[in-house]
């Protein structure tokens, strides 16, 4: 089995798409539809990569990213922010960069997504 990837998104269709695409590539995929339980699930799953929707739960995706970076155990965990909120991604782009996360805007090209996942996991 490949790297453990945790997908955090409130859209069941998006979760299913990530599950299909990443599983086909050999990744061990874990899905979470509620950001409120993210920290507990991260401790349990110990993902090697997290993909989170930036605006999930009124912008809690960015809050989660900040919390991950503040925790020594997850400070270097690769994170991909994936969102359809183009305007917000532009507004928070510098902050996302400072927090060392990559961005994949929705809708995304599958090849671009897979390349970003592979690059994130390779360091």
- Mean of the per-residue pLDDT values of the chain: 88
Query: What's the pTM value of the predicted model, to 2 decimals?
Result: 0.90
pLDDT tens, 57-104? 466 778 888 899 999 999 999 999 888 777 777 777 788 888 899 988
Q: Which of 29-33, 34-38, 54-58, 73-77 has the lowest mean pLDDT?
A: 54-58
Count other C-beta atoms under 10 Å from residue 97's C-beta.
11
Please tell me the total count of domains within the chain: 1
The pLDDT value recorded for residue 55 is 62
Q: Which two tokens stand for residue 53?
A: 């929707």
Full domain range(s) for residue 22: 4-118
Q: In what order do the strands lie in the sheet with 49-52?
A: 28-32, 4-8, 49-52, 79-83, 102-105
Q: Is residue 123 part of a domain?
A: no
Residue 15 lies in a domain: yes
Residue 32 lies in a domain: yes
pLDDT at 106: 84
pLDDT tens per residue across span 12-23:
999 999 999 999
What is residue 54's predicted lDDT score, i.e. its pLDDT?
Answer: 64
Average pLDDT over every residue of 27-42: 91
pLDDT at residue number 56: 52
Rounded to whole angstroms, the Cα distance separating 91 from 26 reads 34
Q: What is the mean pLDDT of residues 26-37?
A: 91
């Amino acid at each position: 089995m490949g790297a453990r990837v945790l997908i955090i998104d409130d859209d069941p269709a998006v979760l299913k798409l990530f599950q299909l695409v990443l599983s086909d590539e050999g990744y061990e995929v874990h899905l979470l539809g509620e950001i409120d339980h993210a920290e507990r699930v991260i401790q349990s799953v110990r993902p090697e990569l997290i993909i989170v929707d930036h605006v999930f739960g009124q912008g809690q995706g960015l809050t989660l990213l900040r919390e991950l970076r503040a925790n020594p155990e997850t400070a270097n965990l690769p994170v991909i922010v994936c969102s359809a909120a183009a305007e917000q991604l532009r507004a928070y782009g510098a902050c996302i960069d400072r927090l060392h996360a990559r961005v994949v805007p929705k809708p995304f090209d599958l090849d671009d997504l897979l390349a970003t996942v592979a690059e994130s996991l390779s360091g």
